[in-house]
Structure 1
């Protein structure tokens, strides 16, 4: 009986109920598959307001498993979850770089999310329990100034390393109610302004509140919220809704995760 209860408590419905009742809540949960898996963060790209985004990544399959001839795919989405572009990159080096400008995205000046997936057909050295995640570093440059770098912040989607691609989500867990509060450990009073970048890494609608104002994010949508509040608390129905932060002070820009 105990084993059955434990098994039910760790199903998607069981986790949802636990998070709603705040009983041994689970913010993130990985998954059990019968194939080696690649996980991607929901990375932020920006080409608005003079921004360029630089993305640095490694050939993880070669670096850690000595698997040659692997490749990556980038999937770019708008802030409203519209697929903008898929780019396949072969001939990887151990260290690689991609610059995302408005020209790269057909002169689009906006923001959104992108994902990186590693694939190989020669993965005999991988077990079905292997999970790789390229957390990577992103650099943000406004008006051609120096980049401010930050690594990935939100686990978003996953798929098989083999090419039978089914893209799945919901690593981050939710609640039925806005009963989870996250306070960012930073005092924002000394900055001219701050922007909080939120992305919804789930298949559910996420609702959250900042300074008494309500926001709603549809599945895989993203949103930039400007605030001047010195202490920021986020009340939501998502247990890992932690934004990427852009803080401005005169010509100074600091980008970091929360």
Structure 2
């Protein structure tokens, strides 16, 4: 991990080079109102990401159905700590929306780094990121906090861009060939992802550290969210 600063613009970057593991967390009833039953009813799937925003639509988060079932089971078993955890989670799912790893390009930074409030180079959730692999550069944000023992994680959407064979259980890159350039203290207003805006902001920040080389350009993310049918 390197803490760098451009000599002229003074733009700081937090750079690290490693492999890439996959995360498949997140949910958002406003953008994806339906999710597969195996995910909804999974006790392991995490419907939250550190990056979240106030819910704007009226459609309930689909993960609430599964969490209500787990809550009923916890109450039946008299597991008070689990009842408290699930109840708080359901409240959060009703109030906020989150990134979805299958559709949104984001990276995960270890929590101990995100909690650093002293270093001017320490990334925060929401900061812009440029992910470099081979001859391609992908714009993204820091979307979640991960375990302290692991660095080099990204959403399934990002992973599939690097390697289409990626799955939640199959890493896209196992060698130390992925470069992550995080721009600390650049997080904007937290809201539903706007990939075009992310690309624009990343381009500006990259220009502040010298820009892309001739013939290179930032990847443009398409919207792959499922179309929501309007039922009468």
Normalized against structure 2, the TM-score is what? 0.32
Greater percentage in strand: 1
Greater percentage in helix: 2
Question: Larger relative contact order (C-alpha < 8 A, sep ≥ 6)?
Answer: 2
Normalized against structure 1, the TM-score is what? 0.29
